[in-house]
Amino acid sequence: MKKLLSLFAAALILNVSIAIVPFSDGVKPVKATAIMLPIGKSGQKISLADFSKLKPREYEKLAGVKLGFFDRIAYKMAMKKLRKGIAPDGTITNKKIINLVKPAGVTDDFHLGGFALGLLVGLIGVLIAYLINDDKKDTRVKWAWLGLAVWVAIVIIAVVL
């Protein structure tokens, strides 16, 4: 009984100590001046910070295209949204833009909830992961599938042994 009580106390202390540790993901902020975008057919490159400040006429010259009335309005709205996604110090704050410029195949987040759904609930957990809509849906669904794969592997090993 004493061992069980001390194990419970240790788990409680560990849980509290994990809860008060500040979280830092260690990801360096992405600078808008470091991201180069090709413009036009010539392949001329311009930084994202400079691109966000382009006027429609300047964009037409660089890209070699003609914008219509509604295209100009859409362009201005998109540039305003892009400028809002860049902080005054030049770092990108919009997560959608950061995900667009992240190299393909690079994942920086493990979704414990998705993995647990797939591992503990199985295929129904994967379906639940698809039903929950938020900004981490893609990561949760991926890890739910991986959790399901681990569950299947455990079942296969248990049947074989």
Q: Which of 15, 137, 58, 79 is closest to 7 using CA atoms?
A: 15
Pick the more confident residue, 105 or 49.
Answer: 49
Q: Is the pLDDT of residue 48 over 60?
A: yes
Average pLDDT over residues 44-50: 87
Query: Do residues 83 and 52 make contact, with C-beta atoms less than 8 angstroms apart?
Result: yes
| Distance (Å, whole) CA 115 – CA 37 | 36
What are the tens digits of pLDDT across the range 9-39? 666 565 554 444 444 455 577 788 888 888 8
Residues 6+ apart with CB under 8 A from 60: 66, 67
- Per-residue confidence (pLDDT) for residue 73, from 0 to 100: 93
Could you tell me the sign of the dihedral formed by the alpha carbons of 125, 19, 30, 108, in that order?
negative
Average pLDDT over residues 134-159: 89
What are the tens digits of pLDDT across the range 63-120? 888 999 999 999 999 999 989 988 888 888 887 877 776 655 555 578 888 899 998 9
Record the pTM. Answer: 0.49
Could you tell me the sign of the dihedral formed by the alpha carbons of 71, 72, 73, 76, in that order?
positive
